[in-house]
Amino acid sequence: MLNAEFFNAEVPPRPMGRYAHIVTLRSTEGYALFQTDGELNRTRIAAGVEDTEPMTRITLFKRKQTTPERLNGRELLRNYGVLSNSEDDKVEESCIYNVKSCKRCPDCISYGFAVGDGGSEKSKVYADTAFALTDYSVTHEVFTLNAPYEDGTMSDKGVVTSRINQQDHVKPGTIFPAVITTRDLTFNLFVYVLNNLLRTTRYGATTTRGGTVRNHVVAIILSDGEIFSNLLLTQSLYDVMRPSGTDPVAIQDAIKASTIVIPALLAQDSVRDQQVLMGADLNAFLNDVRGMSEEQLASVLSEAGEDAKRYFNSYIAKVPKGKK
Ligand SMILES: [Zn+2]
């Protein structure tokens, strides 16, 4: 089980160096659209650490990953009465995403906020750009979307239309290894962030169709500092797996490879790991989180709400002397 004692009893005002890393393989389960215009974001970079042959990888920016997770969490908080329902931005407790921060809810305290004149709170959840495990040539597909006329053809009175649009999609089964790091959260706030990750399945430009992603958590690591990056994890997985040509990589094979790669990468880091939860122990813990009853979830969320409020009362509401 995850060592709950590792986490702070209260969110501290200054960094305490208690890091919890959630190592995840994000895998698309449909055609995903991660960009708003026609082109996917991509970069050219060495395939692996050992295999230095350059390859093109689709990239998934930080906000594309965290925004849907935050919105999912906020929905849950509202559902369980932890987040104010008020849409009135004059109400002190109202918290409206990207419009007004209440500064006291689990979302504001965990993921941070910035308000024009009312100060800011640094995010305690770190995410970074994720890179596709395999090459662009096998991870994307261009769809031509045409808008035919009412008779089903592309011509009107003999004139052929140009109502054709091209969209670049990420193919199903594309894997984006990603480390999500939380710093100095309480156990309840950590479970809140983890639960958001486990619950979120829709990423990308459209929220109603496509973009389904499953987050396979392969390790939770508690340590006194930051561990390896997304890119190093991706390249190291590539070295172990050496995916060939145009074949997709099975998620189960990537999960298996991660059990070799993660301990090897941790051995190279210069941080001290308090706990590395993987395999059967990790799955038992994740099943407990997923299997929470409504009462258990309500209690975790309300305690996370209390933790956030306590931090607000101690360090945000109370302006220290001499500071304005
Ligand atoms: Zn808030």
DSSP annotation of 100 reads B
Residues 289-318 pLDDT 10s: 999 999 999 999 999 999 999 999 999 987
The rounded Å distance from CA 106 to ligand 1 centre is 7
Contacts 24+ apart (CB under 8 A), 311-318: 311/10, 311/11, 311/104, 311/109, 312/103, 312/104, 312/109, 314/10, 314/13, 315/13, 316/103, 316/104, 316/119, 316/121, 317/104
Sequence ranges of the domains in the chain: 4-146+163-316
User: pTM here?
Assistant: 0.92
Distance CA 99, CA 140 (A): 34
Residues 28-82 pLDDT 10s: 998 888 776 667 899 999 999 999 999 999 999 998 899 999 999 999 999 999 9
The rounded Å distance from CA 121 to ligand 1 centre is 11
The rounded Å distance from CA 229 to ligand 1 centre is 29
The rounded Å distance from CA 240 to ligand 1 centre is 42
Helical (H) or strand (E) element with 108: helix 106-111
Quote the Cα angle for 115-119-125, to 5°: 80
Model confidence at 287: pLDDT above 90: yes
The three-state secondary structure class of 169 is: strand
The rounded Å distance from CA 109 to ligand 1 centre is 7
List the beta bridge partners of residue 253. none
The rounded Å distance from CA 189 to ligand 1 centre is 13
CA 277 to chain centre: 19
Contact 2, 219 (CB under 8 A): no
Residues 205-253 pLDDT 10s: 654 556 689 999 999 999 999 999 999 999 999 999 998 877 789 999 9
